[in-house]
Structure 1
Amino acid sequence: MFGMIPFVKMAGRGLGKIFKGKDAEDALKKEVKDLGLAKDEIDIHVDDNGKVSVKGKGVTQEMKEKIILAVGNVEGVGEVEDGIEASDDAPASEFHTVVSGDTLWAISKRYYNKGSRYKEIFEANRPMLKHPDKIYVGQVLRIPADNAESV
């Protein structure tokens, strides 16, 4: 488990003007479902301060991370509390918060020492990312563990 994952509250996809309570929970559940990440075993709760708790089981480590990012990269969410039990023992990814000047190439170079591996980061963040050039400051991305076979 990751524990508490911080997000930039003022960055991300806007799903509504008021982001708390049942309306926010419904909006996040819809977001997860629309991205094809929905699992019946996942429960999402939003408190009045923009803290989201996700709980459940029956999803892979990859799916768990994508669900966390799908709900965290929403405007109004300041942090996500991870309570999801992964159904496999795949290594956890690192999370990277995009800063001004970042590109997937530069991020790939930082984490993998090879910019040309940016496609791995792009694929690891689909379906949330639609194009490798469409990242924004404050967005949190999955950086999968470096796999020697990919080098």
Structure 2
Amino acid sequence: MGLFSFIRNAGEKLFGKDEEEVQKEATSNLPELNRKAAEAIRAHVEAQGLGLQGLVVSFDGTTGLVTLSGNAPSQEAAEKAGLAAGNVTGVSSVDNNLIAPVEEPSQYHDVVKGDTLSGISKKYYGNANLYMKIFEANKPLLSHPDKIYVGQKLRIPK
């Protein structure tokens, strides 16, 4: 699937600390922190219930890079796994190496201030009322159509 960029300080706060605290600890115990972060990200991705098999996650705290490998039942599941891993505070990019059946890849949208799902829907589909298509494509990462945040990356299916 490739390498995707994310806003490093936006997203789920899985590590329970702010960026400054993480950086201070990182200098003293980087391998252990990377392992713990990878475990937390793997648990977060698996909690999405995407049907992934043999998921392996690695994390490099110095660059914010997450690498995913394993098997996904569909292109959609692989894309959602990449988004789940990338929309985590401290992650700046995801190298998504999940193996999935070949399908047409989705587009992506980075949420900016003032965005709504209906506004995003109008931009990509020409119809604001198709916002539920975007919401459904990003479940279970989104719990409600009104709960998106600046810096979040969303799938925009064709």
TM-score by length of 1: 0.89
Give the % identical residues: 44
- Structure 1, unaligned stretches of length 5 or more? 146-151
Whose radius of gyration is greater, 1 or 2? Answer: 2
In 2: Cα distance, 1:75 partner to 1:143 partner: 22
| Number of residue equivalences | 143
In the other structure, the counterpart of 2:40 is 27
In 1: Cα distance, 2:156 partner to 2:14 partner: 25
1:95 aligned residue (108, 119, 136):
108
**Alpha-carbon contact 1:29-1:38 (below 8 Å) kept:** no
RMSD (Å), alpha carbons: 1.4
TM-score by length of 2: 0.85
In the other structure, the counterpart of 1:113 is 126
Give the residue type in structure 2 aligned to 1:129.
L
Bigger shift: 110-119 or 20-29? 20-29
1:82 aligned residue (96, 111, 125):
96
Which structure's residues are more often helix, by fraction? 2
- Structure 2, unaligned stretches of length 5 or more? 27-32
Instruction: Answer yes or no: is 1:56 the counterpart of 2:70.
Output: yes
> What CA deviation, in whole Å up to 9, does each residue of 1:39-67 have, x standing for no partner?
23221110122100111224210000000
In 2: Cα distance, 1:33 partner to 1:78 partner: 20
In the other structure, the counterpart of 2:30 is none
Instruction: Provide the secondary structure at the position in 1 that maps to 2:53.
Output: coil
Give the residue type in structure 2 aligned to 1:60.
S
In 2: Cα distance, 1:59 partner to 1:77 partner: 24
> What CA deviation, in whole Å up to 9, does each residue of 1:73-121 have, x standing for no partner?
000000001211212x321111110001100001000101111000000
